[in-house]
Amino acid sequence: MTVCHDPRRIVNAMTIDVEDYFHVSVFDGVVPRHQWDQLESRVVRNTERLLDLLAEHDVRATFFVLGWVAERHPDLVARIAAGGHEIASHGYGHRLVYDQTPAAFRADIRRAKTVLEQTTGVRVDGYRAPSYSVVPRSLWALDILIEEGHTYDASIFPIRHDRYGIPVSGRHPYVIDRARGRLIEAPGSTADVAGMNLPIAGGGYFRLLPYRWTRWGIRRVNQTERRPVIFYLHPWEIDPDQPRLRAPMLSRFRHYFNLGRTEERLRMLIRDFSFSTMIELLEKQVPAARVDQSTGPLPYVW
Ligand SMILES: [Zn+2]
C-alpha cells in the first residue's frame, strides 16, 4: 500500500453522529420515544469500533454526540475525548429542528451542551441538527445556536432532498454575522456537477452508491477546488447485526442496505484521503470563507 505524502494534500473533516440505530429520523413514529430505553443499545460497541479504527490510522475526528446517549453513557463520551477527538453536539432528543418550537429547540440544545460539557470539562463549539433539519423555515435556529454559545453549525445541506436541504446555500464553510454574534456554517459536502450540487461525502450516499462515487467526488473537491470536504457517518452504519425495525420499504432500504460493507469502505476512505477534526478544518478555512462569502446577507431568504 502506498501512502501519499503530498504536503499540499487537503485535510478533510471526519465527523461521526453518535446515536443508536433506533434514533434515526426515518424510524420516528415506528419506535415511540418512551420505548427507547427498553431497546437493546448498540451505540457503545459500535462507537468503540470506530474509535479503534480511527486510532489504528491515527485519525482524529469530530463526534456530534446525542445528549440522550451522553447521559446514559458518560464513559463513552470521556473515552472519545481521551482519544484526542473533538466533542460536539447532535442535540438532546433527536427531534427535527423544523418540528420544534424555538423554545423547545433552545431547551434541547442547551441540555445537550450542558451534559457534554459536564462530562468532558471541555467547551462544546459545534452543533449538527438531526437529519440536517435546518432548512428555510427553521433558519431561526441559527440565532438560538449563537445565543446558546455555539460557534459553528453543520446542519445545512446545499442540496435538493425530500426531507432537508437549501439548494442555493453555500457549498463551503462561510461566516454568518447576526445581531447577536457570529456563527460559522460548515455545510454538508457536495460536488458541483453541471450546476447541480450532488452529495458526495457520507451517510446513506456512502453506503448506497459505489465507493468510487465518494472517491471521485472528494478528489474533485480536493484537487480541482483545493477545498476540504466534511465527511459524516453514524456508528450504526458499521453494524450489520443491528435489530431490524419495521418501517416503510424505502426507509428500510436507506437504513439497512450495505451495512456489512461500510467498515471496509471507511478503511479505503481513510487510506485514500487525509482527515482531522471539524474545528481544525474551520480554523484553516474561515479566512478563506470570509473572503468568499463575506459577512453580508446570505444568498437565501431568512
Ligand atoms: Zn442523527
Ligand 1 center–CA 129 separation, angstroms: 7
Instruction: Specify the residue for cell string 460539557.
Output: 117
Region 282-295 average pLDDT:
61
Ligand 1 center–CA 65 separation, angstroms: 9
Q: Is 259 exposed, middle or buried (0-12, 13-18, 19+ CB in 10 A)?
A: middle
Ligand 1 center–CA 100 separation, angstroms: 15
Residue 234 to residue 232: CA distance in whole angstroms: 7
pLDDT at 299 > cutoff 70: no
Q: Which of 105-119, 140-154, 180-194, 263-277 has the lowest mean pLDDT?
A: 180-194
Ligand 1 center–CA 233 separation, angstroms: 10
Q: What pLDDT score does 232 carry? A: 96
Q: Could you tell me which residue, 71 or 169, shows the higher pLDDT?
A: 71
CA 171 distance to own-chain centroid:
15
Assigned C-alpha cell, 193: 456537477
Residue 149 to residue 282: CA distance in whole angstroms: 17
> What is the sign, positive or negative, of the torsion defined by CA atoms of 231, 232, 237, 239?
positive
**Of 95, 64, 97, 82, residue with least CA distance to 277:** 64
Q: Is 209 exposed, middle or buried (0-12, 13-18, 19+ CB in 10 A)?
A: middle
pLDDT range class, residue 78, cuts 50, 70, 90: very high
- Bridge pairing between strands 181-185 and 152-153: parallel
Residue 156 to residue 154: CA distance in whole angstroms: 6
Q: Give the CA distances from residue 175 to residues 13, 54, 178, 285, 295, in Å, rounded to whole numbers and listed in that order.
A: 18, 30, 10, 10, 6
Q: Which of 52-56, 157-161, 191-195 has the lowest mean pLDDT?
A: 157-161
pTM: 0.92
**Of 118, 168, 155, residue with least CA distance to 297:** 168
Ligand 1 center–CA 154 separation, angstroms: 12
pLDDT range class, residue 289, cuts 50, 70, 90: low
Q: Which of 14-28, 132-146, 236-250, 284-298 has the lowest mean pLDDT?
A: 284-298
Ligand 1 center–CA 223 separation, angstroms: 30
Residue 274 to residue 165: CA distance in whole angstroms: 27
Q: Which of 56-60, 191-195, 228-232 has the lowest mean pLDDT?
A: 191-195
Ligand 1 center–CA 123 separation, angstroms: 21
Phi, psi of 24 (to 5 degrees): -60, 140
Ligand 1 center–CA 2 separation, angstroms: 35
Mean of the per-residue pLDDT values of the chain: 89
Ligand 1 center–CA 93 separation, angstroms: 10
Task: Render pLDDT for 111-154 as a digit per residue (tens, 0 to 9).
Answer: 999 999 999 999 999 999 999 999 988 999 999 999 999 999 99
Instruction: Specify the residue for cell string 485514500.
Output: 272
Ligand 1 center–CA 168 separation, angstroms: 23
Collapsed DSSP state (helix, strand, coil) of residue 244: coil
Ligand 1 center–CA 19 separation, angstroms: 6
Task: Render pLDDT for 244-260 as a digit per residue (tens, 0 to 9).
Answer: 988 888 888 888 888 88
Ligand 1 center–CA 251 separation, angstroms: 15
Ligand 1 center–CA 238 separation, angstroms: 15
Q: What pLDDT score does 300 carry? A: 46
Ligand 1 center–CA 1 separation, angstroms: 34
Ligand 1 center–CA 231 separation, angstroms: 14
Q: What percent of the chain has pLDDT over 90?
A: 66
Ligand 1 center–CA 163 separation, angstroms: 13
Count of beta carbons in the 10 Å neighbourhood of residue 301: 9
Ligand 1 center–CA 66 separation, angstroms: 8
Q: Which residues of 155-164 are buried (b: 16+ CB within 10 A; e: fewer)?
A: bbbbbeeeeb
Ligand 1 center–CA 7 separation, angstroms: 34
Q: How many CA atoms lie within 13 Å of 190's alpha carbon, on the beta-carbon side?
A: 26
Ligand 1 center–CA 116 separation, angstroms: 16
Ligand 1 center–CA 59 separation, angstroms: 22
pLDDT at 212 > cutoff 70: yes
Q: For the chain, report the end-to-end CA distance as a whole number of angstroms.
A: 49
Q: Which residues of 74-106 are buried (b: 16+ CB within 10 A; e: fewer)?
A: eebbeebbeeebbbbbbbbbbbbbbebeeeebb
Residue 244 to residue 250: CA distance in whole angstroms: 14
